[in-house]
Chains A and B, each alone.
Chain A
Amino acid sequence: MFLIYVLVPIFQSIWISFHDWDGLGAKEWIGLQNYVELMDDDTFYVSLHNNVLWLVLYLLSIPAGLAVALFLNQTVTGIRLYKSLFFFPFVISQVVVGLMFTWFYAPNFGLFSQSIEWLTGTQVAVLADERYVTYAIIVAGLWPQTAYCMILYLTGLNNINTEQVEAARMDGAKGFKLLWYIILPQLAPATFIAMVVTVIGSLRSFDLVSIMTAGGPYGSSQVLSYFMYEQALSEYGFRMGYGAAIAVVLFLIMMVFISLFIVRMLSQERNA
């Protein structure tokens, strides 16, 4: 299965990226021309820039998830209710998240634009403004991602060695110091998984862009994965070769991170 559905398509994509092909007629070998064109394509740089933004800002979900997890890791009556409320955004589909935030931002009736109008007197349609649009989508993406990181940390917190915490308490450690020197090191595995999931999640951001803006206005919220879809498979696309070239670039970027993670994992195993 892995061979047929994962490995073979990778090499097929690389192969197609050297061709000019509309999915109907014969493939035409054009060598590196797709890549040359990509280097000269403004949308490619916009997507790349936005992907970096996604990568950096998406990481905010890790400290945010930790904060929420610490807050929820108390024994107060009704905490289960709060937990499920915070858990909620992770359960619903990304498409629904996208739609909810689209309404939230919508000019004239959206809660967000209403409050902005109340505060500043003018409306800002964030999804129609090239300056804000990517940030607005990332905020929507952070919502479920924070919930995800929170879950990872909650599981981690369950496995904290209570004896160590007690010992530290006896030595007079409190608050931030306790968190930094005793709790966080024990949460390192959870942090690692959260990093991996978040980095890869940010690079394959697609659903929210597709639902909220379709890459617009005029391509300013493009990311590589949506750009690839649009070029290769959408109504106005069907440039399989060009789409494949974008996919290969995205694949290479992902490989950098995945290799970093694997190297780290291996070195940890060796030390253990």
Chain B
Amino acid sequence: MTFFKSLTGLALGAALFSTTAFAGEIVLNSNHSDPAPKKAMEDLIADFQAAHPGITVKWNNFDHEGYKSAIRNFLTADAPDVVAWFAGNRMEPFVTAGLFEDVTDVWDANGLNEQLKSAASAMTIDGKKWGVPYTYYQWGIYYRKDIFAEQGIEPPKTWAEFLAACEKLKAAGITPITIGTKALWPTGGWFDYLNLRVNGYEFHMELTAGKVPYTDPRVRATFEKWGELVNAGYFLESHAAIDWQDAIPQMVQGKAAMYLMGNFAVATMKDGGLTEDQIGFMQFPEITPGIPMAEDAPTDTFHIASGAKNKDDAKKFLAFVASPEAQAKMNATLGQLPVNNQAQKPEDVFLQQGFDMLSNAYALAQFYDRDANAEMAKAGMEAFQEFMVKPDRLDAILERLEKVRARVYN
């Protein structure tokens, strides 16, 4: 009997859980499970509730990876009011399936078109805005300052200087570039930057949108630059067996000198024992002279579900998240950059360098796996990994990519 009772209790609880939407309450689903993001969210929610005493936020926090499949279920089955997600093509399937709410009015009413300008294009599909960005971070080359000084290398600004630096490091018995490609995505960073520097932002966007064949000679030109590094053996050997974190000890031990990564790598480097004076940050060098420098800056966002029960209050929440004060405070905890250009500058030295670089960037790409369609991204990054191991297979690789592109974008 007690068993039966507890069962009905469970069922009742589940029923209550799925219909939690009274006026004045918004349900927020997100993937802020790591310690820093969790703290940032707790503060954000507390501040929001203080600013809007009539509204309570019910927060369901999911684990980071599981969220990516969970969101598909809860958006279709039992939609919360606000969900966390990513900008660019990552949000496209939800927008075309009609699961995200158009929030152009939130942007217009709060002057966000001006304040969130750098991320505006990444939030726009069909001329409408589909969410609000709250954080991003820079990508670039992190290097060992002390090793560069020992070898007498200045941070390279051009491709020729970069190759010369690699050669010098290699001659000194140091792997010039460390990388771990087991999880595939670190390869995307290299492709993005090489393509952005060889062919420019517009071409890169056309390619990731599926409008240019992968057999195009300009794509080949990008791979040829990459091949200069691969064939010379400048990348860490057996990178296909290790994850991105496993590539960092190489740098900590002084066996490798450079790492193209997002700013989150700095924390891991410091955990490994490097001090702030040993780590340097530089912008990816210029390859084709005269092409304006665009950067990778993956952006995290909040959206309103189209099935939300309390859209008015959800819009208030989005407007709050977009405000300079909220973004400054949140990103100070996250250790990332506020998207709002009115927000206070971060104090961290690497973030300041990133802030300056991104503020002056010609344009921002999201990252290969967020700009390209998911299926294309998977095939693409697998191909990049194969190219880094077997550069002589370039023709077969490009043809295979073209086959996938033709299927995916039709």
Contact = CB atoms under 8 A, between A and B. Distances in A.
A24 interface: yes
B240 A22 contact: no
Nearest to A113: B238
A23 interface: yes
Nearest to A125: B238
A218 B94 contact: no
Given A107-B238, A125-B240, A217 B389 contact: yes
A237 B374 contact: yes
B171 interface: no
Nearest to B369: A236
Given A235-B68, A236-B378, A217 B400 contact: no
A217 B389 CA distance: 9
Contacts of B296: none
Contact of A236 (B242, B377, B386): B377
Contacts of A233: 69
Q: Which of B72, B99, B183, B238: most chain A CB closer than 10 A?
A: B238
Interface in B153-196: 181-184
B20 interface: no
Interface residues of A, number: 28
Interface string A202-245: 00000000000110111100000000001001011111000000
A194 interface: no
Given A24-B76, A218-B383, A236-B378, A128 B99 contact: no
A123 interface: yes
Contact of B382 (A23, A24, A125, A216): A216
Contacts of B386: 217-218
A22 B95 CA distance: 13
A214 B378 contact: no
A23 B72 contact: yes
A128 B99 CA distance: 40
Nearest to B238: A125
A24 B93 contact: yes
B241 A107 contact: yes
A105 interface: yes
Contact of B385 (A37, A106, A123, A217): A217
Given A24-B72, A24-B99, A127-B241, A235 B374 contact: yes
Contacts of A123: 237-238
Where chain A touches its partner, the secondary structure class is loop
A21 to B, nearest CB: 11
Contacts of A126: 241
A24 to B, nearest CB: 4
Contacts of A163: none
Contacts of B375: 236-237, 239
B240 A216 contact: yes
A78 interface: no
Interface in A92-107: 105-107
A25 B241 contact: no
A214 B386 CA distance: 14
Nearest to B246: A106
A128 B97 contact: no
Interface in B90-106: 93-94, 96-97, 99
A269 interface: no
A218 B382 contact: yes
Contacts of B385: 216-218
Contacts of A22: 93, 97
Interface string A231-266: 001011111000000000000000000000000000
A33 to B, nearest CB: 11
Contacts of B184: 214, 216
B239 interface: yes
Interface string A19-32: 00011110000000
A22 B97 CA distance: 10
Contacts of B97: 22, 24-25
Contacts of A105: 241
Contacts of A42: 400
Interface in A124-181: 125-128, 130
Contacts of B400: 42
Contacts of A239: 375
A236 B238 contact: no
Given A24-B97, A214-B183, A216-B382, A236 B240 contact: no
Which 3 A-B pairs give the minimum distances between C-beta atoms? A125-B238, A128-B240, A236-B378
5 contacts: A24-B75, A128-B242, A128-B389, A216-B184, A218-B240
Interface of A: 22-25, 37, 42, 105-107, 123, 125-128, 130, 213-214, 216-219, 230, 233, 235-239
Given A37-B407, A106-B246, A216-B184, 20 more contacts: A22-B93, A24-B76, A107-B242, A125-B237, A125-B241, A127-B240, A128-B238, A130-B389, A213-B182, A214-B182, A216-B382, A216-B385, A217-B240, A217-B241, A218-B382, A235-B69, A235-B374, A236-B375, A236-B377, A237-B375
